[in-house]
Amino acid sequence: MRTVKLTKDTISNILEGMLKRSPNSYGEYEKTVGDILDKVKTQGDKALFEFTKKFDKFDLNADNIRVTEQEIRQAYDSFDRELLEIIRTSKENIRKFHQRQLQNSWFTSEADGTFMGQKVTPIQKAGVYVPGGKAAYPSSVLMNIIPAKVAGVEKIVMTTPCSSEGVVNPAVLVAANEAGADEIYKVGGAQAIGALAFGTESIPKVDKIVGPGNIYVALAKKAVYGHVNIDSVAGPSEILIIADKTANPRYVAADLLSQAEHDELASAILITTDSELARQVSEQVDIFTNQLDRKEIIQKSLNNFGYILIAEDLDEAIETANAIASEHLEIVTENPFEVMTKIRNAGAIFLGENSCESLGDYYAGPNHVLPTNGTARFFSPLSVDDFIKKSSVIYYSRNALQSAYKNVEKFAKAERLTAHANAVTVRFEDEDK
């Protein structure tokens, strides 16, 4: 891996390069995505069938678009029993973590006759997009569906691409069934996002769409925002590790590569205060890369967005980490808990040498759907909050309004909104004569 001294110019160049990976930088695909969405909106199922034939080589129709109970049973029949038990344990860990995020409605009353509060209500329908293609990610199925179930969403509709034979990956089906998906449809790509956003004869319109996907899916989610809500427009995977001389270089190298293997645009960055650790990590990265299955992808990722940065001290390392606002941040220092208190911007924070990023991806419980491309400065991980909405509740008695209405009237008139003023004064017009 390239090793450079940390300077203002270094970090500026890295941030500029990383921002180029954002879906916002791929405008040349927007027209294609827009055309697909328009066709789905106007033609419904007909468009879905045509696009599935074109892109996935499967003759989709109204009779086979929805995954059946029999198909789910067949997925279980062919599934590894040991992996099934691991999925179930992971599911429980994820459920327990998200259960703690639940919010309750609250109300308060005062002696003057006012009653106010906040009513928390789950959304009715959530759409979950699950990618197909090169790999299947049952872990993402769990992470997207379980928070919705915990929140109390009435219906969870999942879409995912199928093979040219109309088969959905068994791991995806098993994970979806375990997590609690209510309906599963064999549709992928931007057309699936359109179906969830607008509804078709077969697929119901939902209130919110969550889940990762390729650039077409990301741009489609961005385009339908406003017709429905979305979780985020996700970019490529990222990991940043802050490490000092106490860190194990072999562990650090392995963790950097855990994200580099995702795709050529993934980012893997080490910030360290120890030049000897930097040298050892670079050596271990080379050793691991030659041993791992996705060697070519890893190497391209490291060439594009892999860095080892040498910082003057821990404070400079922390400042840089906050500027990058990485999706995953590992702190492998003598006192990681102290460093953690100074971190402002990160999607997920992993503390100590035993808390590897892959633990969070699969098993620990916190959600692995995280903000990318620096958006951890203002976005949070996917959570139960993404599947609820809040309504304000206001009640004033006659006496309470009487003591307040003159103030409301004056405020409204100050904004020259006389109808607003009239709405409150009309209630006291007899008394004011």
C-alpha to C-alpha distance for 252 and 333, rounded to whole angstroms: 11
Give the orientation angle of helix 189-198 with respect to helix 45-56, to 10 degrees. 160
The residues, ordered by sequence, that sit 6+ positions from 110 with a Cβ below 8 Å of its Cβ are: none
Task: Give whole-number Cα distances, 109 to 114, 230, 395, 397, 408, in Å.
Answer: 6, 35, 9, 11, 20
Residue tagged active-site, from 71, 178, 238, 327 = 327
Q: How many C-beta neighbours within 10 Å does residue 412 have?
A: 18
DSSP secondary structure string, 50-94? Answer: HHHHHHH-----TTTSBPPHHHHHHHHHTS-HHHHHHHHHHHHHH
Asked about 227 being catalytic, the answer comes back as no
C-alpha to C-alpha distance for 114 and 185, rounded to whole angstroms: 48
Please report, in angstroms and rounded to a whole number, the separation of the first and last CA atoms in the chain: 83
Asked about 178 being catalytic, the answer comes back as no
Q: What is the DSSP letter of 347?
A: S
The pair of structure tokens assigned to 50 is 């045509």
Q: How many C-beta neighbours within 10 Å does residue 338 have?
A: 11
Residue tagged active-site, from 328, 353, 357, 368 = 328
Contact criterion met (CB below 8 Å) for 234 and 372? yes
Element (DSSP H or E) covering residue 322: helix 314-324
C-alpha to C-alpha distance for 306 and 289, rounded to whole angstroms: 13
Q: Residue 309 corresponds to which amino acid?
A: L
Q: Which residues are catalytic?
A: 327-328
